[in-house]
Amino acid sequence: MRLNFIEPLMPTLVEKPPEGEGWIHEVKFDGYRSQIIKDEGGVRIFTRRGLDWTDRYRDLAKAAAGLDVESAIIDGEIIVLNEAGLSDFGALRKAITSRQHDLYLVAFDLLHVNGHDLRDMPLEDRREILSEMIPEGQRIQFSQALPGEASAIFHLIDQAGMVSKRRDSKYRSGASTNWLKAKCYTVEEYELLGVEREPGKPAFALMADRKTGQYVGSAFINSSRAIRERLWKRVQEHAGPAPKGMKRPTTQWVKPGLIGRVKHLRGEEDLRHASLQDFREENHANSTKGN
């Protein structure tokens, strides 16, 4: 039987994790949410939005082909680990194109196996079947539940983040409060593409990945008034053309060279809940440093 991509269940963002015995807690990995499908047609690996990226994940596809099941749909996160053993989102993008052997998939849910749709089964039972499917020490790994109270766990793994899931929950595509993702922030530097300003509305800095130049999202400018004014002065001095394919009539675009420090949610493919903390000019780290 040929299996089709299933829209993933997406966790709801919360300030802190839920307490109580009815939840299991897992590390929130910084990676690409992905779905592995194995059936009579072979192995396919899909992105969160249903794009077939099997060719980009060749080694993981081979690992999935070796799983001892006839057919399966596995929900997980593709990651790269750094020297500290934490998932490294920045290294992930590079590994996809040049270091396939560094890619791992952390499997945390099983939606289908050997002709059986498991989505109406309680989460805890689905995960028990999944854990028995995944051999240890391989490129596909099982996401172990974390022992202990939610608040204590979250304090210990604050740098990684945490997802909490109702033990008895069914799998339903789309946004769900049965899975909760506790907010966890990080600060990173991005290339400033421009500033979007409209009368009576908050100003936003449009940011790009420093290595690829690819647009990653906007950050609310909530810095001090002095930094905002100095930023706008630099933007006017560095005025440049709009990047190819980007049309935003209320944006003042800038030439390359302005670097912004952005606080944002960890583990997201694009900037979410992001704010510009500070900025500097490339190779002049101290010339525009704010408070």
Whether 223 and 160 share a structural domain: no
The domain that holds 33 is classified in CATH as 3.30.470.30
Whether 126 and 266 share a structural domain: no
With bands split at pLDDT 50, 70 and 90, how would you rate the model's confidence at 291? Answer: very low
Structure tokens at 97: 């194109």
Decide which of 132, 161, 182 is a domain's last residue: 182
Whether 61 and 90 share a structural domain: yes
DSSP E strand boundaries for the chain: 9-14, 23-27, 32-39, 42-47, 72-79, 104-113, 116-117, 140-142, 162-166, 174-182, 185-196, 204-208, 215-221, 251-253, 258-265, 275-281
Whether 177 and 223 share a structural domain: no
> What torsion do the CA atoms of 230, 232, 235, 239 make, to the nearest 10 degrees?
-140
The answer to whether residue 20 sits within a structural domain is yes
Among 54-68, 78-92, 158-172, 245-259, the minimum mean pLDDT is found in 78-92
> What is the per-residue pLDDT across 88-145, written as a single tens digit (0 to 9) for each?
777 787 788 777 778 999 999 999 999 999 999 999 999 999 999 999 889 999 999 9
The answer to whether residue 290 sits within a structural domain is no
More reliable by pLDDT, 235 or 69: 69
> What is the per-residue pLDDT across 195-220, written as a single tens digit (0 to 9) for each?
998 888 888 999 998 888 889 999 99
Decide which of 128, 161, 182 is a domain's last residue: 182
Which residues is 10 bridged to in the sheet? 175
The answer to whether residue 4 sits within a structural domain is no
The answer to whether residue 277 sits within a structural domain is yes
Whether 173 and 190 share a structural domain: no
The answer to whether residue 47 sits within a structural domain is yes
Whether 21 and 164 share a structural domain: yes
The domain that holds 212 is classified in CATH as 2.40.50.140
% pLDDT > 90, the chain:
53
Whether 85 and 48 share a structural domain: yes
The answer to whether residue 291 sits within a structural domain is no
Whether 34 and 103 share a structural domain: yes
Q: How far are the Cα atoms of 115, 141, 201, 245 from residue 111, in angstroms, in the given order?
A: 11, 16, 44, 38
Segments forming the whole domain that contains residue 155: 9-182
The answer to whether residue 41 sits within a structural domain is yes
pTM for the structure as a whole: 0.72
Whether 191 and 173 share a structural domain: no
> Cβ-count burial of 81 within 10 angstroms (0-12 exposed, 13-18 middle, 19+ buried)?
middle
Whether 156 and 189 share a structural domain: no
CA 229 to chain centre: 32
Number of domains in the chain: 2
Whether 147 and 264 share a structural domain: no
**What is the SS3 assignment for 73?**
strand
More reliable by pLDDT, 173 or 100: 173
Closest CA to 151 of 34, 5, 17: 17
Q: Rounded mean pLDDT of the chain?
A: 88
Whether 151 and 190 share a structural domain: no
The answer to whether residue 2 sits within a structural domain is no
Phi, psi (rounded to 5 degrees) for 198: -130, 140
